[in-house]
């Protein structure tokens, strides 16, 4: 298993978000985490990614504890080993689309010339040729989300976390983004943990689990 969560508990004030959540994710699989609003599905993703630290329980990445790492070490883990795509893209508005895609490489210490060189081919790949120098305000929602997808994958991370990546898109653009996500993840062997409330988006995954009241209703994994 590349990711494991055991008996996770976390509350925000007096409101419980996770109540003993357990989850296992195999390397290379695409897992959809579903559930109604407020069920704890995004909180679970953020704990798996080391963004949040559970009050109890364990999170393991590639066999090593994540939840006991310092904030600095978790930041380094997210920078070096994880990619992220969020609902509204969260592009840096001051940067061009090309600079946004190159950003994870720049933060990892890659020289600007090399980072831009690695980022540039993604624009042809994702149907964005000619948009390299536009800023986020000059892009459509679908274009911005494809830029965000390229940014999440440019460093070829072992794991991509996608939190409602199509939530702000129309149905046709959602399909285009998910088709690209699946294609590229399969090509690179990337593990994808996808949070969504949309069954048509979850249908792209290899497996679905449902979070309700802070717990995971997860079918048993088949033997390898």
Q: Which domain holds residue 91?
A: 3-217
Secondary structure element (H or E) that encloses residue 211, with its range? strand 207-212
CATH of the domain at 185: 3.40.50.300
Q: Could you tell me if 44 and 33 are in contact, meaning their C-beta atoms sit under 8 angstroms apart?
A: yes
For 14-34, the pLDDT digits (tens) are 999 999 999 999 999 999 999
**Domain count of the fold of the chain:** 1
For 94-127, the pLDDT digits (tens) are 999 999 999 999 998 999 999 999 999 999 988 8
Is 222 among the domain residues? Answer: no
Give the list of residues 6+ apart from residue 110 with CB closer than 8 angstroms, or none.
118
Q: Could you tell me if 11 and 55 are in contact, meaning their C-beta atoms sit under 8 angstroms apart?
A: yes
Give me 170's structure tokens. 């129309």
Is 90 among the domain residues? Answer: yes
Phi and psi for 100 in degrees, rounded to 5? -65, -45
Is 187 among the domain residues? Answer: yes
Phi and psi for 173 in degrees, rounded to 5? -65, -35
For 47-100, the pLDDT digits (tens) are 999 999 999 999 999 999 999 999 999 999 999 999 999 876 689 999 999 999
Is 224 among the domain residues? Answer: no
């Amino acid at each position: 298993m590349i990711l494991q969560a055991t008996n996770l508990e976390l509350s925000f004030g007096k409101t419980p978000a996770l109540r003993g959540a357990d989850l296992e994710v195999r390397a290379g699989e695409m897992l959809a985490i579903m559930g109604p609003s407020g069920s704890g599905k995004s909180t679970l993703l953020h704990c798996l990614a080391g963004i949040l630290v559970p009050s109890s329980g364990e999170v393991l990445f590639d066999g090593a504890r994540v939840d006991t790492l310092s904030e600095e070490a978790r930041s380094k883990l997210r920078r070096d080993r994880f990619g992220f795509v969020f609902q509204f893209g969260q592009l840096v508005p001051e940067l061009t689309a090309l600079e946004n895609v190159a950003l994870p490489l720049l933060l990892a210490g890659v020289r600007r010339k090399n980072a831009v060189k690695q980022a540039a081919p993604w624009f042809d790949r994702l149907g964005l040729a000619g948009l390299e120098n536009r800023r986020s305000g000059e892009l459509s929602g679908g274009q911005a989300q494809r830029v965000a997808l390229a940014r999440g994958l440019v460093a070829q991370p072992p794991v991509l976390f996608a939190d409602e990546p199509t939530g702000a898109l129309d149905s046709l653009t959602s399909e285009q983004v998910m088709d690209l996500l699946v294609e590229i993840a399969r090509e690179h062997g990337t593990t994808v943990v996808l949070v969504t409330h949309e069954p048509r988006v979850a249908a792209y995954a290899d497996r679905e689990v449902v979070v309700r009241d802070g717990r995971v209703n997860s079918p048993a994994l088949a033997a390898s």
